[in-house]
A and B are shown apart, each in its own frame.
Chain A
Amino acid sequence: MERRESIKAMMLGSLGTSFLLNGCMDISAEQLQEKIWKYQYGRTPAEMAHDQNLLGQQFFDKHQMKTITRLAQLILPPHEKGSIEEAEVPEFIEFIVKDIPLLQDPLKSGLNWLKQESINQFQNSFVDCSNEQQKSILDDIAYEKEELDDQPEGVVFFALIRDLVLTGYFTSAVGLKDLGYMGNSPNVWDGIPEEVLKEHNMTYDPKWLAKCVDQNTRNEIAKWDEEGNLLN
């Protein structure tokens, strides 16, 4: 067995049982194990059990998932840098509504509103409308109506789903890359790049810089004199 596979088997062995016994699952045991394996992020046993419980349930039905996916595609159209499918945005939204139950009613009733609106306008559910028809529905709810104190249900719903789609995308592997986030990796910070300083008409004060770490000697064990002056 590959090392990764054996670790996986070991972790799943210790993870799966508590949940598998309690039985309230909407997906197969195999599917659940795949999902659990994806999320290894230093959980306590109680947190792990909570995640497993949610990962084993399905909140949105197939039609609702299709609608969410289509909305997400319209909010962030496929792009060479990444798509909402690659970012697993629909899966994220499915999870987060189970984890933050306050989101459930607004999303479910919003999806119902959208379905009804599509039928009223185009005699079709949203996913079965044409691209142009879908956009024409969105154009009416994608901006706040400044003249109103209370925004219509469609506007409130769209703002919510847009937030979830954007946050889901930009916290994914492709989204982070698309954004250009370059951190979360071991490195040695040695100040702002020269061309950036120039662009902002900034300079480092030489007196300040003189206090800062010389990254060439960071590996030498620090020594001080009795007054606390660093000697190396």
Chain B
Amino acid sequence: MEIIENQKKYDVVIVGSGAGGGMATKVLADAGLKIAVVEAGPFFDPANPKQQTQLKWPYESPRRGASNHRPFGDFDTAYGGWEIEGEPYSHVGETKFDWFRSRMLGGRTNHWGRISLRFGPRDFKGKDRDGLGENWPIGYDDLKPYYDKVDQLIGVFGSKENIPNEPDGFFLPPPKPRLHELYFIKGAQKSNIPVIPARLSILTKRINNDRGICFYCSQCNRSCSVYADFSAGSCLIFPAQKSGGQVDLYVDSMVKEVTVDENGKATGVNYVSKEDKREYSIQAKVVILAASACSTARILLNSKSTQHPNGLGNSSDLVGKYLHDSTGSDRMAFLPELMNRKRYNEDGVGGMHVYTPWWMDNKNLDFPRGYHLEVWGGMGMPSYGFGFDANLFNKFFGEKVGGYGDHLRADVKKYYGSLVGISGRGESIAMKDNYCEIDPDTTDEDGIPVFRFHYIWSDFEMKLDFHMHDTFEEIFENMGGIVLGERPGADKDFGLHTPGRIIHEVGTTRMGSDSKNSVVNEFERLHDVDNVFIVDAGPFVSQADKNPTWTIMALAWRTSDFIIEELKKQNI
């Protein structure tokens, strides 16, 4: 097939426009470099009325917001999901992994939970404590200055707590807790489980004149039209362009492979245009992959050449290996004390105002790593599904469930806001046997070989999850709640979600100082090719029980600084 060559020569081509790609774009454009950003999905701006979903009412959707198209409902801002038409993936044997992709400028940052946690000193050196997985080649002190910069550039609310493995940062002040959150605090404290203000990248206070301040609609998953939450487009890529950066966006462009010269050095990328299905090439001095852990691994493995017959950067044979997602489980309870609530607007920010960081010592437990707790509930905006089993809780009062007529209407109002949930998100151990690889039998709609996954939870994750449910039940009982549903048993993996469901997949191009044992070095540079860098979550050696975004961005900034220095020294 003929490949159409772009005449422009770039300093850097960046594949992907999410957290990592966005951050690299901002830092490198501010340094005056000429940049091409290649994104598989369309252009997206949450302030564009044609794309905006913020402040829409459920009845503005003919399906009342149901989640049968977009997996988190009609108003959620992720174009894509675990299944995308034309972009299949497969599995080895009976194993399971669900792969979430968001095809749009800004990627998954447009809809994520904004939970912005720093990894702590212990999180980089897990192997030192329990002999499992691998240590990172860097530690907290290497990343701290970059976490500090990310906090100040993007904005994150939180509070100084002096908890050793939950480093404090440059915080904006947190919002006051909601009513169900006060119940949660009370319930947790009764069992000596700590609760602190949440840490979310939402602007409770102004940080500059280009972005608005939170107006408490709780809809960060719809991407904020006044840019008061962090999304990579609105907070990194648009500002990079606005301050005069030389940034060309190539949207609807699916990167297929990294191209190399006769010495095996990268020359740019080839991509398939979603519009005309033709193949194009872009040339640059440096290639940065930020397509997300699995998409980046797929691009590398699809970039086979005589110089790199096993795929680019894959001399270690580790590209795609050590894939791991957060463990996750959830439980709900009914709180009789929250029946017949007085009505007021308690939307608050998008997500929880309080949370519980990991608080125990694994020495006394039968699983090696920790988890944190997220709490949810309240008088939220109804959408499709609200009112199903409307008066199920009648059974707790010996009253009949079901019926019709005015009492049903009254029951719905009575129970509104009385449901509380807790989600646990834990650290899994990176295993070589959990991997993604090219499926030799299948290509996607663009003719690109697809991925297949092999993933099995180990006993470590099962035991951690079992402990989570003990905690859920204990806190709910302390809160005066009635725990709903049976405790999931071994047949349901104790309630552990399928890997990939928490959408924190990391580890597929892991970082290390030994090129036999890792894919990139501590500056996220391929051991095998010195002008290719990876700034998504692929380089994560371990996951911590924390949401990866803040660490992706701190690493991406550090890597971008390194690239600027190397270019200055003409080492690339």
Report A's interface with B, CB cutoff 8 A.
Answer: 35, 38-42, 44, 47, 50-51, 54-55, 74-77, 79, 88, 92, 95-96, 99-100, 138, 142-144, 158-159, 162-163, 166-173, 175-176, 178-193, 195-196, 199-200, 202, 204, 208-209, 211-214, 217-222, 224, 228-230
Contact = CB atoms under 8 A, between A and B. Distances in A.
A213 B384 CA distance: 34
Interface of B: 42, 50-53, 55-66, 68-69, 74-75, 77, 79, 148, 151-152, 155, 157, 159-160, 168-179, 182-183, 186, 197, 204-209, 213, 215-219, 337, 341-349, 379-390, 400-406, 408-409, 412-413, 416
Given A178-B413, A222-B155, 9 more contacts: A38-B62, A42-B51, A79-B409, A100-B66, A167-B387, A172-B58, A179-B412, A211-B159, A228-B151
Contacts of A176: 57-58, 381-382
A-B interface, 6 closest residue pairs, ranked by CB to CB distance from nearest: A166-B387, A191-B176, A186-B215, A183-B347, A180-B343, A171-B58
B72 to A, nearest CB: 14
Given A42-B51, A42-B56, A208-B197, A92 B62 contact: yes
B174 A211 contact: yes
A171 B382 contact: yes
Given A179-B382, A199-B342, A228 B216 contact: no
Nearest to B405: A77
Contact of A95 (B55, B62, B75): B62
Given A44-B79, A142-B403, A179-B416, A39 B343 contact: no
B74 to A, nearest CB: 7
Contacts of A220: 205-206
Contact of B53 (A41, A191, A208): A41
B60 A41 contact: yes
Given A184-B55, A213-B157, A166 B413 contact: no
5 contacts: A42-B75, A159-B402, A162-B404, A171-B382, A190-B176
Contacts of A162: 390, 402, 404, 408
Q: Is chain B's interface secondary structure helix, strand, loop, or mixed overall?
A: loop
Contacts of B219: 184
A222 B345 contact: no
A228 B199 CA distance: 15
A58 to B, nearest CB: 14
Contact of B60 (A39, A55, A170): A39
Contacts of A76: 408-409
A188 B416 CA distance: 22
Contacts of A40: 60
Contacts of B384: 96, 167, 171
Nearest to B62: A95
A47 to B, nearest CB: 6
Contact of A47 (B56, B69, B186, B383): B69
A218 B60 contact: no
A181 B413 CA distance: 10
Contacts of A44: 42, 79
A199 to B, nearest CB: 7
A49 to B, nearest CB: 12
A50 B62 CA distance: 11
B79 A228 contact: no
Contacts of B170: 224, 228, 230
Contacts of A191: 176-177
A217 to B, nearest CB: 7
Contacts of B74: 41
Nearest to B388: A163
B238 to A, nearest CB: 18
Nearest to A176: B382
B481 to A, nearest CB: 14
Contacts of B171: 228, 230
Nearest to A232: B205
Nearest to B195: A208
Given A144-B401, A163-B389, A202-B182, A192 B56 contact: no
A170 B390 CA distance: 11
B64 A196 contact: no
Contacts of A179: 382, 412-413, 416
A57 to B, nearest CB: 12
A224 B389 contact: no
